[in-house]
Amino acid sequence: MTTMDWWRGAVIYQIYPRSFRDSDGDGIGDLPGIIDTLGYVAGLGVDAIWISPFFRSPMADFGYDIADYRDVDPMFGTLADFDRLLAEAHRLGLKVVIDQVLSHTSIEHAWFKQSRENRDNARADWYVWADAKPDGSPPNNWLSIFGGVAWQWEPRRAQYFLHNFLASQPDLNFHNPEVCAAQLDNLRFWLDRGVDGFRMDAINFCFHDAQLRDNPPKPPELRDGRGFSPDNPYAFQYHWHNNTQPENLGFLEQVRALLERYPGTTTLGEISSEDSLATMAEYCTPQRLHMGYSFELLTDDFSAAHIRATVERLEAAMPEGWPCWAISNHDVRRAVTRWGGAAASQDLARQLVALVCSLRGSVCLYQGEELGLDAADIPFEALRDPYGIAFWPNFKGRDGCRTPMPWNDDAHAGFSSGAPWLPVSPTHLPRNVQAQERDPDSVLHATRAFLRWRREHAALVGGGIRFLDSAEPVLAFVRESSQGRVVAAFNLSPQPTRWTPPPSMALRTLDAPGPRGGRLDGGLVHLPAHGAFFAASD
């Protein structure tokens, strides 16, 4: 894709740099390692890469606690390495999207070090500071996603500071126009360097309620957690005041105005609010974000009803916006395990890639999805994620989706010549890239073939979507553009099933590669276990 709106319908491959490829043997993936493997990524048939944070950081939250927005952490390489990566990706036809974590910094950031010293320095109001209540307790009842209160005492100022995440991730005060301007300048730094866009982490967390009002309690029956640990008190509140404030809309418009001065660039917002689909519709407009994704398809609910209801609700709410769908990423258990269980088949892995790439919108594929990787089981003594360590054993954190990419069947799976920062999963070794290259029936070959085939059907890339009546476990819909119409049906179960398409539809079976294919016979579509059926329709 070379047009200015290349991002519409694009498949974006997420690279978690710590775990992708290590070039120097220290056990941590790096930018040179990514450069060495960009040919592999381009060969998948994706349109862009999204690189998770590689900026200077003390790594309390593995890069999502930034100490310097404009430099590469030495464990990942140098700015010169990034420039080489950017040039090589562009040579291979890949766009480059990088993470931006705007709502908070590390406590090691120079801004925070200055802000915490006293109440009258030049950056005294750059973070969210508040006095204690008369009894010394925090100013309100806000909670941190990672557990416990969202306020940390700072003796230098004799005040609390807000942290929606770790206590080492203080929240910036976006009510201060200087903060907004500074973060726009940081975006400009990377745009001038040539990046093609930004994945914007926790973008609805930039502003807080200036009155610091308490969040109201949530009834027990509504505490679904939305991906959080089931015993995390964060689920006990409606988070109406610590994020998703109306002032954020104006800031997003400033971000969009900046990107309009760099034609061909894009924004992808990560959105997690009390009503994420409504927030996506509000944020993803021609004046704000180009795209957004939420956690609705990153939950445990794998049913045709849930997928259909999620997409239809967003479609109705967002007539002008553009969605982006993801079913796995660095924050949740891999979809093959989450939706298929411990004994999930590779047929499910093939199907899931085709399914997410057939919905209307753009797609984020997480490294290893093209291999059908399952969720790794990490013992407590090997955990690195502070979230998992805090909530063990009920919730094991995010390390299970962050283990090293398996490139071959060597001792460290070809990821590193040294001991990896997280152990290589034994279940991943047989699914390594080298082994799947040799197997024509592998998930890797299926993914490549489907992505090539998808490009040939404009309706699947940029067309509209309309769902067709179907009973569980079948999900069926029509993708339609001025260049044609494609009917898709997916059997979400591990047993064969049948689906009856509308009799008014004249279907011509399309030979779609990738998932196990269904067949049309006597007006019925016969779907194998975790199979899919594609057809053209007049």
Catalytic residues: 201, 270
Q: Which of 47, 46, 16, 48 is nearest to 34 (CA)?
A: 16
Burial of 392 (0-12, 13-18, 19+ CB in 10 A): middle
Q: DSSP for 420-440?
A: -SSPPPTTTGGG-HHHHHH-T
406: preceding bond cis by omega (within 30 degrees)? no
| Residue located via tokens 């049948």 | 498
Q: Which of 330, 346, 295, 353 is nearest to 405 (CA)?
A: 330
Tokens of 416: 């590193």
Contact between residue 535 and residue 523 where contact means Cβ atoms under 8 Å apart: no
Give backbone dihedrals phi and psi of 521, rounded to 5 degrees, phi first: -150, 115
Cα–Cα distance list, 121 to 115, 125, 126, 232, 306 (Å): 7, 8, 10, 37, 51
- What is the tally of helices (H) and strands (E) in the chain? 13, 22
Contact between residue 64 and residue 183 where contact means Cβ atoms under 8 Å apart: no
Distance of alpha carbon 210 from alpha carbon 528, whole angstroms: 55
Neighbours of 529 (CB within 10 A): 16
Strand runs labelled E in 194-307: 197-200, 266-270, 291-293
Tokens of 443: 């998930």
CA quadruple 130, 131, 135, 136: dihedral positive or negative? Answer: positive
| Residue located via tokens 């919730």 | 395
